[in-house]
Amino acid sequence: MSGSPRLFEAVPNFSEGRDEERISRIAESVQVVPGVHVLGLHSDPDHNRSVLTFVGEEGALLEASVALARACAREIDLSVQKGVHPRMGVLDVLPFVPLGPPLSDTTLQDAARLARSVGEAIGSLGLPVYLYGAAATASHRENLADVRWGGYDGLDTRIEDPLWRPDYGPRELDARSGAVAVGARPFLVAFNAYLDTDDVDVARIVAAEVRERDGGLPSIKALGLRVGKRAQVSMNLTDLERTSIPAALEAVRRSAEGRGARVESTELVGLVPLSAILEIARHYLALPELRPEHVLEAAFWKSRQDP
């Protein structure tokens, strides 16, 4: 992979999901940076929150992240903003994700280093920055939910706590902009299984059986929900190296069958790396040798990338 670009995915969440003009000005601040490829923008008016997905190399991402933080601070005033999500800042969360073959070959450690550079740069803008995930500077800061605990409303007292001193930036809060969590993590896949029942209790029991927190498979977060007329096991797979999509699905299938239910269909939300799709084929076809270079499109794109 010596000729491959050193790419990462950035998936910032910012606290504006209703005002389309503000949202597009914020996205534009990233889009104009050379070497940045915006792959997605999803706004949620209910949570008054948007998620932007972009890919690039370290330098471009650093520049885009600073531009994004500036734009969020300019466009959003958290002291008047309303939203149900437990946000703590205008630019709320900024995770960096390493990308493997065939696109690139960066590691979680590379992403953590990038997160620290970005955190330092955003801190210099005057925003308190907390590092989390693989970039965390202490074990109690690894979990994003712990870092954001209490959200924006509790932040002005929390920032005084010696355990929650920001990693970068000022130790006092601008009420308009709040604080930012900058982190590094593996690719996260949102994967939902719909059951052939409308009984949400079955989905809740299955979710509890498969999720890590209650003794299930590693790196699965799961909830039982009712979506339309069907019970849904809604999952986040937070580390596909530990629990792949097929492993999660087979665990859900077994658990559901124990309750007399079956998985009727599934859905993947957002983008999924090719490696995760290949793992599905390897599993169900008993095809251990399938690799990215066997995919025509990957071979073609690689031939255009290499001189």
**Minimal distance in Å, beta carbon 286 to its own copies?**
5
- Helix, strand or coil, per DSSP, at residue 259: coil
Any idea which residue has 């065939």 for tokens?
102
State the burial class of residue 286 (Cβ atoms within 10 Å of its Cβ: 0-12, 13-18, 19+).
Answer: exposed
DSSP 8-state code for residue 136: -
Name the minimum Å distance from CB 265 to its own copies: 5
Minimum Å gap between C-beta 273 and its own copies is 5
Q: Which residues of 88-115 are buried (b: 16+ CB within 10 A; e: fewer)?
A: bbbbbbbbbbbbbbbbbbbebebbbbbb
Query: For tokens 């650093």, what's the residue?
Result: 62
- Tokens representing 291 are 């690799």
The contact set with its own copies (CB under 8 A) reads: 9, 37-40, 55, 99, 102-103, 187, 245-246, 249, 263-268, 270-274, 277-278, 280-281, 283-290, 294-301, 303-304
Least distance from its own copies to the Cβ atom of residue 92, Å: 22
For residue 264, the minimal CB distance to its own copies (Å) is 7
The tokens for 212 are 């890590």
Instruction: For its own copies, give the closer residue by CB, 39 or 175.
Output: 39
Q: Which of 85, 140, 283, 294 is catalytic?
A: 85
Among the listed residues 152, 108, 44, the one whose alpha carbon sits nearest the alpha carbon of residue 240: 108
Smallest distance from the beta carbon of 212 to its own copies, in angstroms?
21
Quick one: 155 or 263, whose CB is closer to its own copies? 263
To the query of whether residue 140 is one of the catalytic residues in this protein, the response is no
* Residue with smaller CB distance to its own copies, 171 or 262: 262
Contacts of 121 (CB under 8 A, 6+ apart): 62, 65, 66
Nearer of residues 5 and 86 to its own copies, judged by Cβ: 5
Residue type, position 123, single letter: G
Beta strand extents in 7-83 (DSSP E only): 7-10, 13-14, 37-44, 49-57
Distance CA(210)–CA(197), nearest Å, equals 18
Residue 295 tokens, joined? 């995919």
Contact status, residue 206 vs residue 259, Cβ threshold 8 Å: yes
Is the Cβ of residue 2 or residue 303 nearer to its own copies in the bound state? 303
Task: Please answer whether residues 89 and 179 qualify as being in contact, where contact means their C-beta atoms are separated by less than 8 angstroms.
Answer: yes
Closer residue to its own copies (CB): 214 or 257: 257
Rg of the chain, C-alpha, whole Å: 20
SS3 assignment, position 80: coil
Q: What residues act catalytically?
A: 85
